[in-house]
Chains A and B, each alone.
Chain A
Amino acid sequence: MARPRLSLRLGVGGLAVALVAGTAAALLVLGPASAPLRALGAGAAGTAVVGLACSLGLGRAEGVALPGAIAIVALDYALVLLGAPRLAAGATAAAPLVAGALFLAAELGWWAVELRRQARESPAALLRRMAWIGTAAVAAAALAAACLLAGGAAVAGGAAPTAVGVAAASLLLALAAWLAARSARQT
């Protein structure tokens, strides 16, 4: 049974922050041509990275900043796609990498949140967790690639598919709100 190590939590949390920061920086380098959009993206990414670092670094934080940071980097990705049409094809092709990196960052971030309660970690469990996270990240990239392929198929658009999408997104929002309320009641 290994002794509890602060370095493990800092290492995992730092890796999550570095992944988010790296992805955001890569997207900004590719980034939108217009200066205001670039400044907006840089500011948002900086805020996300700092917020995430603070959230994971603080002992009592529940990791609430993690989904926000991931969402902001995704927004940066959207800015790249919108602001630099000449790069759009390449940026779209990079979606599996972005999805894999963000999923990996999220998994590492949640792991760092779990590690904030110092405990004697079993080395075997650590190895299994690392293997699981690595496999999940690869699977996430593969799933994103599959989604891209499916999205590339010629399917007729229109009001009905858009309405289904809006309904699905609204349902998810309602689910998130309900779960958040239940979490506040039960913990």
Chain B
Amino acid sequence: MTPLRGRSVVRVAGTAWLVAVLLVLALALGLPVLVAVAAPFAVALAIGLALAATPEVAVAVTLDRERAVEGDRVTAHLAVRSPQPVHRVELTLSLPDAVATEGPARAALRLGAGGEAAAAIELRCLRWGAQRIGPVEVRAWDQMGLVAHRGWAAGGATLRVYPRPPRLRALLQPARTLVHTGNQLARQRGDGIEFSDLRAFVPGDRVRRINWRVTARRGAPFVTLRHPERNSDVILFLDSFRDARLGTEGTLDLAVRALTSLAAGHLGRRDRVGLIGFGGVLRWLKPGTGIGQLYRVVDAVLDTEVVLSYAWKDLDVLPRRMLPPAAMVVALTPLLDPRGIRAMLDLAARGYDLAIVEVDPERFAPAPRDRVEQLALRLWRLTRDARRRELRQAGIRVGTWARDEPLDPVLAGLLAARRPRWRVPA
């Protein structure tokens, strides 16, 4: 039961005042008719005060589903019960900024003796994250509606809102593949579909690999070599040290959406996908495959938020198995914090195949208002250009995801920026 403490007795005081004035007027003017006018108010007040008791109300909040995608609608059900009749009970649902309602987030009900009632409030999910729905503020009027009591019902429900990822047409190709079957064309030769080369038959070659046309033309047996299809390790690196934000959207929101798209795309290609959330709070998820891993990745990023921290962090704090040697690392970062940039340079120095998707924070910067601000913006741009140049000089591919652009051209640019390193092992 929710303890209701605060009380409003405005109506009691007002009615008592009215009755008193009418009775005094009746006495002063010698008009008993005014007593007749005052009588209904006095009787209602007396009955109300006699029956007045603090209502005991129990409220439960449930959601029609616990998981939703950005833009979805979810219905919150408020169930209220009370052993006493309640003239009117108002339930106000506390909502985070990322969840909105059509109309007020408040429902008014009337309860009979020992009665139960329910209300439904439709919610609209605006932003990804683990959103807390509740608690509920309760305002209950007693049986005659004279005194209003206030309190907070403990509890609530958690709604996990997943980002709605943009669909990607192409993904980054890793430099190295693993030994398991996947959709990536491996550099090695083996059993596969894609043609690689021809060579003379040697003992031990399978007869089915003999290329009969070339054999007939050359007069000696030749075999066809092919590239096998393999999977790869992809580590998604989310830099959450800083967030450039304007209104309800920021670089972290975009980065999380892009990360979800990349995770879904690579897992659909049978790659093993892992996650490193590098920021004030460190998170990691070891590489895995399948749809279950997609849910694990998305669940892991849902709680991501920018946590202010001055602690210097580097890659040594990560478990070794988080960074498999042949992994491709895709970093999503606004390039705002030197700790994140330092970690990326460290990754490149360790020989990882690293690609950076820079979520451009300039789109969230307010427009300059005077010459000083224009100059500051120009300096900031120059600093950012210098950072990009430093990363490129370290052999890192950097693609800037600018305002209102889809992610596909950025990935295409990163794919084209790879140095040609196709060396077929002998």
Chain A positions near chain B (C-beta within 8 angstroms): 1, 3-4, 62-64, 66-67, 70-71, 74-75, 77-78, 81-82, 91-92, 95-96, 98-100, 102-103, 106, 110, 113-114, 117-122, 124-125, 128-129, 136, 139-141, 143-145, 147-148, 151, 162, 165-166, 168-169, 172-173, 175-176, 179-180, 182-183, 186-187
Task: Tell me if B286 is interfacial: C-beta within 8 Å of chain A.
Answer: no
**A154 smallest CB distance to B (angstroms):** 13
Q: A10 CA to B75 CA in the complex, in Å? A: 29
Q: Measured between alpha carbons, how far is A98 from B27 in the docked complex, in Å?
A: 19
The verdict on B67 contacting chain A, using a C-beta distance below 8 Å, is no
* Closest Cβ neighbor of A137 among chain B residues: B40
Tell me the smallest distance from the CB of B38 to a CB of chain A, in Å. 8
CB distance from B160 to the nearest CB of A (A): 25
Q: Are A179 and B109 in contact (CB under 8 A)?
A: no
Q: Is B43 an interface residue (CB 8 A)?
A: yes
Contact B90 A117 (CB under 8 A): yes
Q: Which of B1-24 contact A (CB under 8 A)?
A: 6-24
Q: Which residues of B contact A1 (CB under 8 A)?
A: 107, 119-120
22 intermolecular pairs with C-beta atoms under 8 Å apart: A1-B119, A3-B103, A64-B14, A67-B15, A67-B18, A74-B34, A91-B33, A95-B36, A102-B37, A118-B104, A118-B106, A119-B108, A120-B106, A125-B110, A140-B44, A143-B39, A144-B36, A147-B39, A165-B23, A168-B23, A172-B16, A176-B16
- Shortest CB-to-CB span from A116 to chain B, Å, is 11
Shortest C-beta distance, B377 to chain A (Å), equals: 43
Asked whether, in the complex, the Cβ of A187 is within 8 Å of the Cβ of B7, the reply is: yes
CB pair A186–B9 under 8 Å, yes or no, is yes
- Residue contact B17 to A176, C-beta cutoff 8 Å: yes
Shortest beta-carbon distance from B324 to chain A in Å: 53
**A173 contacts which chain B residues (CB < 8 A)?**
17, 20, 24
A120 touches B119 (CB 8 A): yes
| A119 x B107 contact (CB < 8 A) | yes
Known contacts A4-B103, A75-B25, A78-B31: A180-B13 contact under CB 8 Å: yes
Q: CA A136 – CA B18 in complex, angstroms?
A: 18
In the complex, residue of chain A having the shortest beta-carbon distance to the beta carbon of B121: A120
| B110 near A129: Cβ-Cβ < 8 Å | yes
Given contacts A169-B24, A176-B16, is CB(A81)–CB(B31) below 8 Å?
yes
A114 CA / B142 CA spacing, docked (Å): 13
Report B's interface with A, CB cutoff 8 A.
6-27, 29, 31-44, 88, 90, 92, 102-104, 106-110, 117, 119-121, 139, 141, 145
Q: Are A179 and B104 within 8 A (Cβ)? A: no
Specify which chain A residues have a CB less than 8 angstroms from the CB of B33 in the assembled complex: 77, 81, 91-92, 95, 148, 151
Choose one: B42, B121, B145; the contact of A110 (CB below 8 Å): B145
A71-B18, A117-B90, A122-B110 known; A139 vs B8 contact (CB < 8 Å): no
Which single residue of chain A is at the shortest CB-CB distance from B30?
Answer: A82
Q: Which of A95, A124, A179 contacts B16 (CB 8 A)?
A: A179
Contact of B40 among A75, A103, A151 (CB under 8 A): A103
Complexed CA–CA distance, A77 and B31 (Å): 10
Other 9 A-B pairs with CB < 8 A, given A114-B141, A120-B104, A187-B9:
A62-B8, A63-B11, A67-B15, A103-B40, A117-B106, A125-B109, A129-B110, A148-B32, A186-B8
Question: Nearest Cβ distance between residue A176 and chain B, in whole angstroms?
Answer: 4
A82 to B34, CA, bound (A): 12
Cβ contact within 8 Å between B39 and A99 = yes
Measured in the bound complex, the distance between the Cα atoms of B36 and A182 in whole Å is 29
Residues of A within 8 A of B121 (CB): 120
Q: Which residue of A lies closest to B18 (CB)?
A: A67
The residue that B20 contacts in the complex, of A103, A117, A151, A176, with Cβ under 8 A, is A176
CB-CB under 8 A from B90, the residues of chain A are 117, 119
Q: Using CB atoms, name the residue of chain B closest to A69.
A: B18
A179, B9: Cβ atoms closer than 8 Å: yes
* 5 smallest beta-carbon distances between A and B, as pairs: A140-B40, A125-B110, A172-B20, A147-B36, A176-B16
